[in-house]
Structure 1
């Protein structure tokens, strides 16, 4: 029986942005913004979502990744009881909850860092951070040097070789499972974390919950180094993310098809059997509407995201085609304040949510889209078709990145007497073992073979 995360559809929330929290801690006390998420839970359910990745949540100083207290929900969002209530509401609606685990670094207000500032060489935490040297300095003029993430010295790198650090962080994870009943953790900067720490984390979490999910943020490299039976269940598929927008912009479906063939082909795919986390936008990259040269590509991009091998994830606002570009080092426009009723009343791309609802329902109904093998059926620069095959069942996806309609004839991957195109509910003709279809400009189609 498949684990929940193997057939999940995710909804990704950056809560500090969605809920309009101030960029820094300018408020006194606790502001209970998390309660606003109550109405978003039925919205996720409508989209066919079965899990949410929400974060960062730890008490922090600014953007959420400069942790101040690992055991407190950020007071700009609410308190621990607010989040406990949110998790229960999600679970009551059949939605699993995954949170951000920021374990590569802390902020400068974290207690261990402040102890080093105060007690210097005598601090019991001097080895909790990487390369601490009291003969060096940084622009903060603490009187000591430490290694920081990408030389951003507000993010001090933890020393995951230190037993005390490991034990502390593993206790934090146990706390979040016990206190909130979370179902998984997305590891921030997983490509910077020590492998032995992730192995211990896998063991600890599997002891607490047999189906606990670990997913890592990995941008470059061989994903199989992280995704295996000892470490993580999944990582972010940035390679496919890049192909999904540039393959459309360049009218080059060979890029997407080559990526998938290399990763998941039944004969030699290097990640065959892995369930990578598939996305077209997140809190760190430009919105897909801004990455595409033509908004008409949106239908094909999302159809591919839901039907290619992987675990699909919608970033909040993506269902309406919300725009947003990075401005230098500033990510604010990627993480906007959104009010659900306003978005429903005035969506930037009116038909997009309806499409995602359909794709979510199809993904949930067709086991071949989670467990089926991948087979390429047709490929040109501007047209692409493939099947997901499970036994005698098959789902066939076809896409067109051309501004003109096109006649398509697609080989059936299994014996079939008929096919239904489920995005439109239209029956397709099968002639001489081929699906015959008139594909509109920028169109996509998903066929269930009968």
Structure 2
């Protein structure tokens, strides 16, 4: 078991957008990230989660060569520089493996592709995207290829893989791949993108360590927007079941969704969302720019992801001043998480619940932490036992022991 994952907090970057490479020609842009590694460390991250970095036709999810760094980002030497710089700072690397589909230019025998008919043009595509050709996961050579790719980059310095569109791949395929990769890299961690469905069953059948917790993501922002903490409590009950099967990747933003600061209808509730993220079980991930209160709307059109995958400046000091308070809020809450690493396995339940107020108790074998959330227009005095708890953080200053009164639209975290 990978003990390091229990302490992990990822900073998630989409490199093609971050480096301004998306619509550019060849260049050595991947090392641009090196100038941001100290920023990630100071944020509190322990790992760098990268979007696609392999040779692709456009957005990176249309891969044409899994063994080659995208020429727009650089080459193997650039990857080695980044991996070495991350390692020097104690940062793990999580790579994005797009193994369900490939770009039209991917060179392989026809037997590697899923078919819709006997003709040479009858290749199946991924979810209606004509540029994304689906691989046939019953083909042994496809399995061999994925195993080679995983092994290659884990050997070069990666610590794990996020498996794109894992839900579209038969779980038995991942199990077969991991049975061959794990003996070579027993410390590696594998999380799969699963949006809907039975998370527990997918973890059990696939052998993956983790899945992406979209159900909790949705309940966090919609529970806040709708003033309906019953939805959040329901999702946390389901989340507890998932934690019995693996450590899900938790988030309030990523490269595929509208940014949190845009999604929330009341900007006062950003802290509430983050307080939940960093005090419930799982492995938290922060999407680059969210820690600076970036805004961005995902749209269902060509170029509709551009607003949520922006370029970053050369160095952190070039960021606009308005985002730094949100960065410091992330620092504080990640600090709480890192000081209470038992939270990775914690189960969370609502010990007080109304539409607009929730007391969420996260418990481990010998530890307890309570997150108090109030999105109502009046202060709430939570009727909970907080005699042994100390105020760890809150949206407003306070120095009382076991403070249970939370102002309107406020939050606080109490713990041992």
Q: Quick one: which of 45, 59, 67 aligns to 2:55? A: 59
Q: Quick one: which of 20, 36, 39 aligns to 2:32? A: 36
Matching residue of 2:112: 128
Matching residue of 1:386: 360
CA distance in 1, matches of 2:342, 2:243: 18
CA distance in 2, matches of 1:216, 1:177: 17
Partners of 1:408 and 1:436 within 8 A in 2: no
Change (3 A) 1:344 1:253: farther
Cα deviations across residues 371-391 of structure 1 (Å, max 9, x unaligned)?
Answer: 333343211111111222234
Q: Quick one: which of 209, 221, 228 aligns to 2:197? A: 221
Q: Offset of 1:50 from its aligned partner?
A: 0.9
TM-score, with normalisation over the residues of structure 2? 0.94
Q: Offset of 1:309 from its aligned partner?
A: 1.7
Matching residue of 1:442: 409
Matching residue of 1:232: 208
Matching residue of 1:325: 297
Q: Offset of 1:342 from its aligned partner?
A: 6.1
Cα deviations across residues 118-141 of structure 1 (Å, max 9, x unaligned)?
Answer: xxxxxxx12110116454xxxxxx
Q: Quick one: which of 239, 242, 250 aligns to 2:218? A: 242
Matching residue of 1:280: 252
Partners of 1:419 and 1:448 within 8 A in 2: yes
Matching residue of 1:4: 4
CA distance in 1, matches of 2:365, 2:195: 34
Matching residue of 1:314: 286
Q: Quick one: which of 193, 196, 200 aligns to 2:176? A: 200
Matching residue of 2:13: 13
CA distance in 2, matches of 1:440, 1:54: 38
CA distance in 1, matches of 2:192, 2:20: 26
Change (3 A) 1:18 1:200: same
Q: Offset of 1:148 from its aligned partner?
A: 0.4
Matching residue of 1:432: none
Change (3 A) 1:230 1:154: closer
Q: Which moved more, 1:147-156 or 1:395-404?
A: 395-404
Cα deviations across residues 382-417 of structure 1 (Å, max 9, x unaligned)?
Answer: 1111222234432221111124433333223xx72x
In structure 2, runs of 5+ residues without a counterpart are none
Q: Offset of 1:343 from its aligned partner?
A: 6.7
Partners of 1:322 and 1:348 within 8 A in 2: no
CA distance in 1, matches of 2:116, 2:245: 41
Partners of 1:409 and 1:436 within 8 A in 2: no
The 5 Å alignment of 1:259-274 reads: 259-264=235-240, 269=241, 271-274=243-246
Matching residue of 1:251: 227
Q: Offset of 1:217 from its aligned partner?
A: 0.6
CA distance in 2, matches of 1:309, 1:292: 23
Q: Offset of 1:2 from its aligned partner?
A: 6.5
Partners of 1:420 and 1:427 within 8 A in 2: yes
Change (3 A) 1:286 1:129: same
Partners of 1:377 and 1:411 within 8 A in 2: no
Q: Offset of 1:344 from its aligned partner?
A: 5.8
CA distance in 2, matches of 1:238, 1:22: 26
CA distance in 1, matches of 2:332, 2:316: 22
CA distance in 2, matches of 1:285, 1:373: 26
CA distance in 2, matches of 1:200, 1:32: 36
Matching residue of 2:107: 111
Q: Is 2:147 the counterpart of 1:147?
A: no
Change (3 A) 1:327 1:365: same
Change (3 A) 1:372 1:262: closer
Matching residue of 2:326: 352
Change (3 A) 1:194 1:229: closer
Change (3 A) 1:270 1:59: closer
In structure 1, runs of 5+ residues without a counterpart are 113-124, 136-142, 430-434
TM-score, with normalisation over the residues of structure 1? 0.87
Q: Offset of 1:173 from its aligned partner?
A: 1.4
Partners of 1:320 and 1:349 within 8 A in 2: yes
SS at match of 2:383: strand
Change (3 A) 1:312 1:193: same
Structure with higher Rg: it is 1
